[in-house]
Structure 1
Amino acid sequence: MNNDEYTVGYVLKKIEDSEPDTEHSKVIFKSEEELEDDNLKSGRRDWIILSEIYGDRYETKSQLFHLRNYLQFKLHDGLEETDNFKKKCYRYIRNAALILYIREVVFGEKKEDLQPLVKEIEEYYINGGKINTAYKIAKKSISN
């Protein structure tokens, strides 16, 4: 099965025993989400509320936690485990750290191949890019 055929259920199963983050997702989280999350402590984002409920024992600042909860919310809202992950979920994700995590952990792309995108995203944010707008960079095709 190629990653265009992955179902939501398959992705949930695949991430069960995965690392909570990758090196790349940690780097981009610092640039992208951590500042935003600090600004949103008022509780506007569901995953921040869950993070506060579960605390550090569940590595709640991880992309694994973020992805698992995102998919669980989608299932609760009517998505089926048999639905196509790329068409029903991935295409709507606008978080570069999470996209890089998915590309490496779920889709199996090589860390080394993703490195140029990480550098480009870092530069984008250093040069004043707005928070959570680097997703187009994170979703770019990589040339081998």
Structure 2
Amino acid sequence: MSSQSTLADDDLFGEAAAEMREEVEAHLEDAEAALPDPDDVWDADADNVLGVLNALKSTLDVGDAAEHLRQAKKTFIVGQRAEAFDDPESLEARLESVEALLGSIEEAGDLVGDLTGTMPQLRSQLQDAADAADDDSPTDADAAEADAES
């Protein structure tokens, strides 16, 4: 192999490495852009708790963010193994940060999903208990009758 083709190969490798880094960064930007808006997670416009929970559950759907992160990680791993990046630590830290945030969002979504299933059941149980208490408590007529007998 001549030194001229080695220089050309080095140039091509450098160009490919730059493109890989750009691809990782583009996928990370797309993942971050697909994350829920902080105000949408905090603000709620609903008539009841179930409405709030359903809206929150929809807001916490990470959708395309997870796929963009996956693509970024795939490209990063190939580039890292090829030792193509000058500063792989900065990309790796950003990948880990986005991955941790997605994990937190998915965990919160699971909790909200659990509450979405639990709250109607809890309301029903509380309503049954209130109805039973109403059936067991003396009515005004029962109280008047008891007073008349004494």
Range of TM-score over shorter length: under 0.3
Query: Which of structures 1 and 2 has the bigger CA Rg?
Result: 2
Which structure has greater helix proportion? 2
Considering Cα pairs closer than 8 Å and 6+ residues apart, tell me whether 1 or 2 has the greater RCO.
1
